[in-house]
């Protein structure tokens, strides 16, 4: 590990990787982490049997009465962890997509990837009962796998259709909206032709809800994230050079096409994983990276910070969804109500850079 | 300069008449297609009824099962399809003309979502259950959503380009749908009313719905036809139009009122149905050119063809069940949308 100074900033170098020491990002990230911990405790604390935040921490550190342990560890913790994992995946996915496309409007939900992943997952849920082979590989592996395939397929389709002597930001977004609408229509079609019981299961999943998430939902997402997050963070080191534009980046020795393709695949996989875990949750991937970019004062969305704030947004939205309305709402509705005005504000400001 | 003849920009004698004849031919072909689509809509369905039986059911009913199905289910549904298809096609043509935006469509620009949300709000907060109430709420919502989307386009630093308007519509739709879902989940009665038309379907509508929205549709249709000449002049640019003596404000407000009436009534009757207003004017423009005096009537005829056609397809593909027409239209309309977006110059209209 060597250290040198670049323009009054401390540069850090470790093997082939290098970065600049930015205290503000570190500070923002640590604050985000603290906020996630607090919201986690809050999310576990609220419910039919209210606990205090202190009691939650007692249980998490290994103490507390048995009833509290049951409520916290068996009932509320899986849901909260699912929220954290899904939010992390969405925030990271959005940050990578926006950094690679250099377009603040690009995110897996706007580009239709989430809708494609949902359509594929619903087809597995619906076909699961009619076909024995599908049902055998179904269960816990089938839905995430189908979501992954559906997401990748949709992303490839959107990219191919938006390609016309290069990718233009707005064309990519509009093609994504159209493909997303088609995927949603396909999902509705599947729901109509499905058996009633399958349709009911799929509908619950489709509302983008953390309700009823158990450990069996948490584990596949956690395993997937354990693989994808390190890959994403390693790949993120080429983002800086990609941000300079294709020509400059290849001139500096980056393998632009290969690196970009790898980043996009990782971003799509993260979004698909999140969708498989909790259904389509709107606007998190769009909003979080831009907020983090402004908080951290960086040129492109910071990945790790976006991941943590993604978890924070999903958890906070879940707390709101469970406490504010009379009946509990799916978390996806709350994130849409928080996120859509932000998209409007982004439009009203004029989207610099999105034309590129 | 008495000897100079101004013939350069005049079409050759007879050319104007030929053009008019070909346009009239187009309108009659479209009218025949509407008739064909209506017949298909009467003939296809869960119960298989032959065309002669349909004929006798309409003109000499004897009270058989087939007669009841045709007279109480299929005839109202077909009439509704014609009315709503015409409304959406014309609304799309007007929106594209006024915004000079090839991506304008009541569904895409959030107008339908506004209408739908207002109805949900009315049911939730005031317990509105009559269709008459739905229509007024739907009109108010359509109007408000249209204004909000255009305001967003205006205050945007990029101006009201096709892209900013489309994205403003998408974000407004997402917001309003989230609010609608929240209200619906909170109240079972609202959910019941909402399910009725949230998907956009011609199925299961009462026979008298078409009659109840007819006055609004007729008013919208009239305003739209009045609006066409002024709209042609506005296409030259607002300054030129003003110089030629057009009251720009009046033409704009007439257009907005017509779009609101047509979309609001269509949504109140059938729920939000997308892409008719997008696809139809583009197809018609290939044949009529950009003269709105021809484009608007042509869209009014092509709209029912598309809507009834999609409805029949939806009844056939998953027979004996059926697919809501809104879903079929997305699957038809999205490729057209992608093709439009892929064109080099998006802004020119």
Of residues B171, B185, B327, nearest to A327 (C-beta): B185
CA distance B249 to A70: 67
- Output the pLDDT for position A71: 81
By C-alpha distance, which of A68, A67, A49, A48 is closest to A57? A68
Kindly state whether residue A98 falls inside one of the protein's structural domains.
Answer: no
Task: Answer whether CATH 1.10.3470.10 is correct for domain B41-343.
Answer: yes
Average pLDDT value for residue range B339-348? 65
Tell me: cis bond preceding B8? Omega within 30 of 0 counts.
no
Assigned domain for A228 exists: yes
Q: What is the CATH number of the domain that holds A170?
A: 1.10.3470.10
- Asked if residue A331 lies in contact with residue A339, where contact means CB atoms within 8 angstroms, the answer is no
A204 at B interface, C-beta within 8 A: no
CA B307, B308, B309, B314 dihedral sign is: positive
The number of folded domains in chain A is 1
Residue of B330, B336, B347 to mutate when probing chain A, most A C-beta within 10 A: B330
Q: Which residues neighbour A79 within 8 Å (Cβ) at sequence distance 6 or greater?
A: A43, A210, A211, A212, A213, A318
Cβ-nearest to B330 among A171, A182, A327? A182
Contacts of B341 in chain A (CB under 8 A): 162, 171, 174-175, 178
pLDDT at B347 over 50: no
Q: In whole angstroms, how large is the CA radius of gyration of chain B?
A: 21
CB contact under 8 A, B167 and A164: no
Among A124-128, B11-15, B84-88, B291-295, the least confident range: B11-15
Please answer yes or no on whether B182 and A329 come within 8 Å at the CB atom. Answer: yes
Is residue A94 in some structural domain? no
Q: Which residues contact A202 (CB under 8 A, 6 or more apart)?
A: A122, A125, A126, A190, A191, A194
Residues of chain B with C-beta less than 8 angstroms from the C-beta of A115: none
- Give contacts of B155 with chain A, Cβ < 8 Å: 348
Q: How many Cα atoms sit within 13 Å of B77 on the Cβ side? A: 27
A to B CB pairs, distance under 8 Å: 116
Domain locations in chain B as residue ranges: 41-343
A164, A193, A337 member nearest B318 (Cβ): A193
Q: How many CB atoms lie within 10 A of CB A246?
A: 13
Please indicate if any CB of chain B lies within 8 Å of the CB of A336.
yes
Provide the residue range defining the domain that includes A234: 107-280
- For CA atoms B10, B15, B17, B23, the dihedral sign is negative
Give ipTM to 2 decimals: 0.76
Asked if residue A354 belongs to a domain, the reply is no
| Cβ contact A173–B167 (<8 Å) | yes
- pLDDT tens for chain A, 356 residues long, are 555 655 666 777 776 666 677 788 888 889 999 999 888 888 888 877 788 888 888 888 887 788 888 888 888 888 899 999 999 999 999 999 988 888 887 888 888 899 999 999 888 877 765 554 554 454 556 777 888 899 999 999 998 898 877 777 778 888 888 898 899 888 888 877 777 777 777 776 776 778 777 787 788 889 889 999 999 888 887 777 777 777 787 788 777 778 888 888 999 999 998 988 888 888 899 889 988 888 888 888 888 899 999 999 999 999 998 888 777 788 888 898 988 888 888 777 765 544 33
B203-245 per-position pLDDT tens digit: 766 667 778 888 999 999 999 999 998 889 888 888 888 888 8
CB A87 within 8 A of CB A314: yes
Residue A338: closest C-alpha in chain B: B175
Residue A35 lies in a domain: no
Query: Touching check for B236 and chain A: CB below 8 Å?
Result: no
Q: How far does A20 lie from chain B, in Å, by closest CA?
A: 34
Query: How near does any CA of chain B get to the CA of A233, in Å?
Result: 31
pLDDT of residue A197: 73
């Amino acid at each position: 590990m060597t250290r040198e100074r670049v323009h009054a900033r401390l540069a850090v170098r470790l093997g082939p990787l290098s970065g600049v020491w930015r205290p503000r990002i570190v500070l923002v990230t640590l604050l985000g982490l603290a906020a996630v911990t607090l919201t986690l405790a809050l999310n576990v604390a609220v419910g039919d049997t209210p606990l205090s935040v202190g009691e939650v921490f007692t249980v998490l550190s290994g103490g507390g009465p048995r009833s509290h342990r049951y409520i916290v560890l068996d009932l509320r913790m899986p849901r909260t962890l699912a929220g954290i994992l899904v939010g992390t995946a969405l925030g990271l996915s959005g940050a990578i997509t926006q950094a690679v496309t250099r377009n603040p409007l690009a995110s897996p939900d706007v580009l239709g990837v989430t809708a494609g992943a949902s359509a594929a997952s619903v087809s597995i849920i619906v076909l699961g009962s009619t076909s024995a082979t599908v049902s055998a590989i179904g269960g816990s592996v089938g839905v995430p796998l189908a979501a992954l395939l559906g997401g990748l397929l949709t992303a490839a389709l959107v990219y191919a259709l938006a390609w016309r002597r290069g990718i233009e930001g707005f064309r990519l977004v509009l093609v994504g909206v159209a493909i997303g609408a088609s995927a949603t229509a396909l999902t509705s079609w599947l729901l109509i032709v499905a058996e009633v019981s399958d349709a009911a299961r799929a509908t619950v999943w489709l509302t983008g809800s953390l309700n009823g998430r158990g450990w069996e939902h948490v584990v596949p997402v956690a395993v997937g994230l354990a693989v994808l997050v390190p890959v994403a963070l390693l790949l993120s080191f080429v983002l800086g050079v990609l941000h300079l534009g294709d020509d400059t980046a290849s001139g500096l020795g980056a393998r632009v096409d290969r690196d970009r393709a790898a980043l996009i695949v990782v971003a799509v996989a993260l979004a698909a994983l999140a969708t498989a875990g909790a259904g389509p949750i709107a606007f998190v991937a769009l909003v979080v990276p831009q907020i983090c970019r402004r908080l951290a004062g960086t040129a492109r969305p910071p990945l790790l910070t976006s991941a943590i704030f993604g978890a924070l947004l999903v958890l906070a939205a879940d707390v709101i969804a469970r406490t504010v309305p009379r009946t509990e709402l799916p978390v996806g509705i709350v994130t849409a109500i928080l996120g859509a005005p932000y998209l409007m504000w982004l439009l009203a400001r004029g989207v610099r850079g999105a034309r590129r | 300069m008495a000897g100079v003849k101004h013939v350069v920009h005049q079409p050759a004698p007879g050319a104007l008449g030929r053009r008019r004849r070909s346009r009239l031919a187009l309108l009659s072909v479209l009218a025949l297609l509407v008739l064909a689509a209506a017949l298909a809509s009467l003939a296809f369905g869960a119960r298989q009824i032959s065309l002669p039986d349909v004929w006798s059911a309409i003109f000499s009913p004897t009270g058989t099962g087939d007669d009841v199905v045709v007279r109480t289910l299929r005839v109202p549904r077909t009439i509704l399809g014609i009315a709503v298809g015409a409304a959406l096609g014309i609304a799309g043509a007007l929106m594209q003309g006024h915004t000079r935006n090839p991506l304008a469509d009541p569904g895409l620009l959030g107008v339908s979502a506004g209408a739908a949300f207002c109805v949900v709000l009315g049911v939730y907060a005031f317990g509105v259950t009559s269709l008459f109430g739905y229509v007024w709420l739907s009109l108010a919502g359509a109007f408000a959503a249209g204004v909000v989307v255009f305001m967003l386009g205006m205050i945007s630093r990029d101006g009201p380009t096709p892209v900013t308007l489309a994205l403003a519509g998408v974000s407004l739709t997402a917001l309003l749908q989230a609010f609608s879902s929240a209200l619906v989940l909170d109240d079972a009665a609202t959910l019941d009313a909402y399910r009725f038309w949230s998907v956009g379907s011609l199925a299961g509508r009462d026979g008298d719905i078409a009659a109840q929205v007819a006055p609004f549709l007729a008013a919208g249709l009239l305003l739209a036809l009045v609006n066409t000449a002024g709209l042609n002049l506005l296409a030259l640019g607002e300054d030129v139009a003003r110089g030629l003596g057009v009251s720009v404000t009046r033409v704009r407000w007439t257009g907005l009122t017509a779009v609101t009436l047509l979309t609001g009534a269509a949504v109140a009757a059938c729920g939000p149905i997308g892409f008719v207003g997008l696809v139809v004017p583009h197809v018609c423009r290939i044949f009529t050119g950009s003269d709105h005096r021809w484009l608007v009537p042509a869209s009014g005829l092509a709209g029912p063809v598309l809507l009834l056609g999609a409805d029949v397809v939806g009844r056939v593909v998953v027979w004996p069940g059926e697919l809501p027409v809104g879903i079929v239209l997305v699957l038809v309309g999205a490729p057209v949308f992608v093709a439009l977006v892929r064109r080099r110059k998006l802004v020119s209209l």
